[in-house]
Amino acid sequence: MNGKIQVNSGDVSIIAVKLDDKDVTEIPQKDQNISFDRAECGNDAEGYWDNTNWEFKIRNLTKPKTKCTLYFVSNELSSENKEITQFLFNKVSDWRYADQIVYEQNGNDNNVRFIGSNPDNYIYFNCQEGATQSSSTCETWRIIGLMDNITTADGKNEKLLKIRKKDSLGSAEVWDRSESGVNQGNGVNEWSQADLMNYLNGSFFQKFNETAQSMIETVVWNTGTMDKPFDDNSYTTNYSNLINPRYMYDAERSSNHGKICSATGSYANNCNDTVERTTKWTGKVGLIYPSDYGFATSGGQLKNRNNCLERSMYSWSSDCYENDWLYYSRTWTITPTPRSYGAFYVFYIDNSGDIYCAYADEYMYEAGVVFPVMYLKANIKITGGEGTSSKPYTLALGE
C-alpha cells in the first residue's frame, strides 16, 4: 500500500496517516528523508513497514474491515523529544526489535527490558555542561529497561528508566569489609551499611555534574533474598527449577534477609555481626539484581529464551549467558546470599556465567567488578541518537 490513502480497501482500511504527529493525505515517499515510526491497528493485527520496497505490510489479519493508523517521522525528529515510556513501548511493538527488547509481566509489574548479546540500548550521560553530546564529552551508560511500580523516596509509584554504566569502575572493589572479630573479618551482607553502598552514594555520586544529578531518582531498592540457606539440601537437589530469573525476581522482593545462620562451634563467629537486617533500602546508586541478569538473555539455538528463564542460573547454559549483555565475569549484585555457614555471602556472576556467591570482602579471590546502576526520573525524554554504540541516545529532563 503506497501512494494515495485508500480508505475503502475491504479487509484493511488506512484511516489516517500522520507525519510528525500531523495528519497528511499521502504516504510519504522513500526519498523524502522520512522514517516509518509505527502502526496502530485494530482487531489485534500487527502492521509493519518494508523499508526495502517502501510499503506497508500486515500480519495476524483475521477480521475484515481492520483499521490502521500509520505514523511517520522526519529523520531529524525520529527520536527527538519522545517521552521515554512511549518511545520504548513503540520499540516493543516493532517486530524489527523483537530480538532486542521485550515486554514482560512479573506479578503486578510490567517491565520493558533490553535483551540479547548487544542490544541498541546505549545512552550518553553526565555530559560536560554546554558541550555537544559525544563520546569525548559524555559517559556512556546502557538501559537495563523501563521498570514498573518503582517506589520513589516521596512514596510515588513510577515507571522509571533503569540504567547501568557501560564500563566497570576499573579497579576491583569489595562489597563490604568488617573487623576481624565480626564475621571473622569477611564482611557483612547487608547493603544498607555496605562499604560499596557508601562509596557509590558518596564520592562516586559526587562526580556527577548538577544536570546529571538532577536526572537521578531516589528510589526504594529491594534487597530481599531466598527463603532458605543457599546450601540447604532441598535447594541443592532442586537447582534445576530454583534460582531461575523468575524465582529470584520474587525473592528479591521478599522479606527474607541474608542472615540465616545455623553454624555452631568455631563457625559461629561467621555469623556474629549485630547489624540490623533490612529488605529495602532507599538511595540513588546501586547494583543489578540477579533477576536483571537473568531477564537480559535472549537465549540461543539450543536453549531459547523461555528455556533460559526456567533454568537455574546456578548452572546456566552458554546459550543463556553468551546471549546476555549483562554477563561480565565476577560482577557484583546487590542481593545477599543466605547461607548456614555465615552472614557475609553475596550473589555475583562468576566466570562461567552462573549466579553464585562470594564473600563480601572477597579475601580469597580478587575483589568483584562494579557496574553502578541507577533509576532516572519519570519525565526523562529521548532527544536524539539511535541507541547504538556509535550513536547513543541523548537524554533530557522534560517539563
The full set of domain ranges for the chain reads 1-77, 170-208+216-366
Contact 337, 357 (CB under 8 A): yes
Query: How far is C-alpha 339 from the chain's CA centre?
Result: 27
Distance CA 191, CA 310 (A): 28
pLDDT block averages, 10 residues each, the chain of length 399: 46 85 84 79 86 82 87 62 79 82 90 96 94 92 97 95 95 89 95 97 97 97 92 55 87 96 81 96 98 96 90 91 95 95 94 92 74 96 91 89
In this structure, which amino acid lies at residue 63? K
Q: Specify the pLDDT at position 240.
A: 45
Cα torsion angle, 389, 196, 396, 103, sign = positive
